[in-house]
Amino acid sequence: MNILSKIMIVTDSTADLPQGLVQTLDITVVPLKIHFGDEEYLDWIDLDSDSFYAKLKTSDIMPRTSQPSPADFEAAYKPLLENGAAIISLHISAKLSGTYQSAVIAKSMLESSDIEVIDTKVASMALGIVVVEAARAARQGKSKEEILAQIAENNGKVRVFFGVDTLEYLQKNGRIGKAAALVGGLLSIKPLLTLKDGEILPKEKVRGRAKLIGRLVDTIAEELGSDVLGTAVIMHGNALDEALKLKEKIDEKYNFSEVIISSLGAVIGTHTGPGVLGVCVLPE
């Protein structure tokens, strides 16, 4: 393994990172698992985004997910440690998954190893973009203390807003949080949600899919100002056409240095269902 930096970044598959970024930045991704009945798949390895949504459409079984075991993390950490690296391991909100806890247990199994495990309190590309910036900082040769300070700052700044087609999946998978207040609304009402302090919270109700794109665009300015700079990520669950429309409108209105389009993977997709459209912003 060619380690350009003595600090290696580890995350989990709920970060929904585009594969190109994983390879370019040498990020280690520990996969969660998806279960359709007795069938088990590794997130982003056995099931990518397209194959997951195709399977979801045709399956009568509501999928479920499970976190990596401490042994899975130990197996990911050991080769990096043997190469003399320090590890910073960033994970999905502990309020949404037991993944962070598995990583903490793995760290305790590898006594005296240089491993920092962080609950980012976010998920999907809101986690992914914090991971990407940490990996870029590591490749630039920044110190562990500098990278940890940057992660803490970015965790405090990153914002994510997303609309779901239905709350059914969040409800059935027990991840609905305070958004439960929106259940039972009219079919044409699309909930706009956010993540705060690791939990899914309702932001507002939007009438119809067409208005969702406009509200996502406007919400950026309402929350962060119309002159916001930095990185934006458009996230979608099997809704690429709408994601492209959203990107077009964001490019028209804002001056982000980077706009990434990311598909939601099977684990996040299991909890949100198809048709999710969202935006995550890491302001400068």
Map the chain to HEC letters.
CCCCCCEEEEEEHHHCCCHHHHHHCCCEEECCEEEECCEEEEECCCECHHHHHHHHHHCCCCCEEECCCHHHHHHHHHHHHHCCCEEEEEECCCCCCCHHHHHHHHHHHCCCCCEEEEECCCCHHHHHHHHHHHHHHHHCCCCHHHHHHHHHHHHHHCEEEEECCCCHHHHHCCCCHHHHHHCCCCCCEEEEEEEECCEEEEEEEEECHHHHHHHHHHHHHHHHCCCCCEEEEEEECCCHHHHHHHHHHHHHHCCCCEEEEEECCHHHHHHHCCCCEEEEEEEC
Domain annotation for the chain: domains and CATH numbers? 7-32+67-156 (3.40.50.10170), 159-283 (3.30.1180.10)
Q: Looking at residues 221-233, what average pLDDT do you find? A: 96
pLDDT of 179 higher than 80: no
Mean pLDDT of 96-120: 95
Counting residues of the chain whose pLDDT is more than 70, the rounded percentage is: 90
Whether pTM > 0.85 for this model: the answer is yes
Q: Higher model confidence: residue 248 or residue 2?
A: 248
Ranges 150-154, 210-214, 230-234: which has the least confidence: 210-214
Lowest-confidence range among 21-25, 90-94, 142-146, 182-186?
A: 182-186
Amino acid 3: pLDDT: 45
